[in-house]
Structure 1
Amino acid sequence: MSALERVSRLARAAVFAAVCVVVSAGGHVLAGGAPVAAPALFLGVVAAFVLAFALSGRERGPEVVVGVTATAQILLHELFARSAPVAVAHAGHPHGEGPGAGMTVAHLVVGVVSGWWLYRGESAFWLMVRLWGMAPLPKLRRLLVGAIEPLTTPVRVVLVAGATTYRRPELVRVVRRRGPPAPPVVH
């Protein structure tokens, strides 16, 4: 693994860990009112980072990124709930007996939304990597023209002297060609 690959994997894993932990801890503070303990926060960041670093070796699809993010949300919820002080855990908050249905649904929704956001960022990163590997002119063409018209490879027709082409009358008006018109075929 090159230094550039290692740095990109570390950066992407750090973003994943930060998003997962900040969203989960923020939800706990807003829902429960008690701050998350620093050791649990540190353990959550490390666990999410290690998981993301292990999966960041190649491009992943939306089902993997969203699934891992939702799973990380549920696991972080459990970690933060079990590390809460006993007085807070039993003061009407369902952490004492496990996540309630509402809390589980909230974590799943947040996991899916943030997972989709992370997937789109991951997709954009890999697009930039692919564009970086291209020659400069096609890169510029793709950026400038690709948004306006779909990129298609032009078809080049080479007419050999003396060769005849078969043209049915109903298809002559349908064919679109780029460039100057072809010389007329003499029969």
Structure 2
Amino acid sequence: MTTMGAGSVLRLAHTAVLAAVGVVVSGLGHDLSSGASVSVWGYLLALPLAGAAAWRLTRTERSARVVVGTSAVGQLALHVLFGLVSPHGAHGGPHSGAHGAGHSGAHALSHPPDPPVGALDITALASPGAAMAGAHLLAGAVCGWWLWRGERALVQLARALDLFAGGRLRLALAVLGGGCAALPAGPAPAPTRAAPAGPPASLVLLRALSRRGPPLLPS
């Protein structure tokens, strides 16, 4: 689009709805799954990225497969982004290892050694991360389907309004435009009476009687 018209305004509103719904749903799901709220910086960083992707998505009318797939991929990307910017709580691995190092040798032999810190972090985060990614995928699919259905309903409503009101409006404008063009520019001139026309020539010939004939014989 080269000019900012009604189509661009509708596309901008559609883009804002797509970005806001995707980011808010992803943030709420991330909060419920991880137990830690997403920081404000995460939302401020996610909204422009989601808006740019939604702006490219709303360039033309898309199919349900494209909208749902893009929404699911976007939810995964937001999951990774929120995981990077969200604060993580302290794990118990380092404290337990330091506490075990302070025990006596007999107590250390009676208790098995603690696992390494890296292994503890991986095992602690692997299952919640997979569950959270699955939740993001499900939320993305549901949001994509819902947004696609809403877009289809909006397009059908706009077309119906254009057929119903647009035709009537164009007809009214055409009638008004024709009426204004037919109006005289100044006052109308006074009507003039035409001279009464005589009877047709055929009627005159039918009613005429000619008595003229050849001259009489000379006397």
Look up the match of 2:143.
114
Give the aligned residue type for 1:101.
A
The CA distance in 1 between the partners of 2:45 and 2:124, in whole Å, is 19
Look up the match of 1:45.
47
Look up the match of 1:130.
159
Look up the match of 1:76.
78
Q: Percent identity?
A: 41
Report whether the alignment pairs 1:13 with 2:42: no
Give the aligned residue type for 1:65.
V
Look up the match of 2:34.
32
CA contact (8 A) 1:13 1:53 kept: yes
How does the TM-score come out when normalised to structure 1?
0.65
Structure with greater Cα Rg: 2
- Structure 1 residues 136 and 27, CA, compared in 2 at 3 Å: closer, same or farther? same
CA contact (8 A) 2:31 2:38 kept: yes
- Structure 1 residues 31 and 106, CA, compared in 2 at 3 Å: closer, same or farther? same
Give the aligned residue type for 2:147.
L
The CA distance in 2 between the partners of 1:6 and 1:137, in whole Å, is 19
CA-to-aligned-CA distance 1:108-145 (integer Å, 9 cap, x gap): 11111111101111111211222233144999xxxxxx
SS at match of 1:68: helix
Which residue of the other structure, out of 39, 62, 67, is the alignment partner of 1:60? 62
Tell me the C-alpha RMSD between the 2 structures: 2.8
How does the TM-score come out when normalised to structure 2?
0.56
Q: Structure 2: where are the runs of 5+ without partners?
A: 93-120, 169-219
CA-to-aligned-CA distance 1:90-121 (integer Å, 9 cap, x gap): 68798966973322221111111111101111
**Structure with more of its chain in helix, by fraction:** 2
Look up the match of 2:173.
none
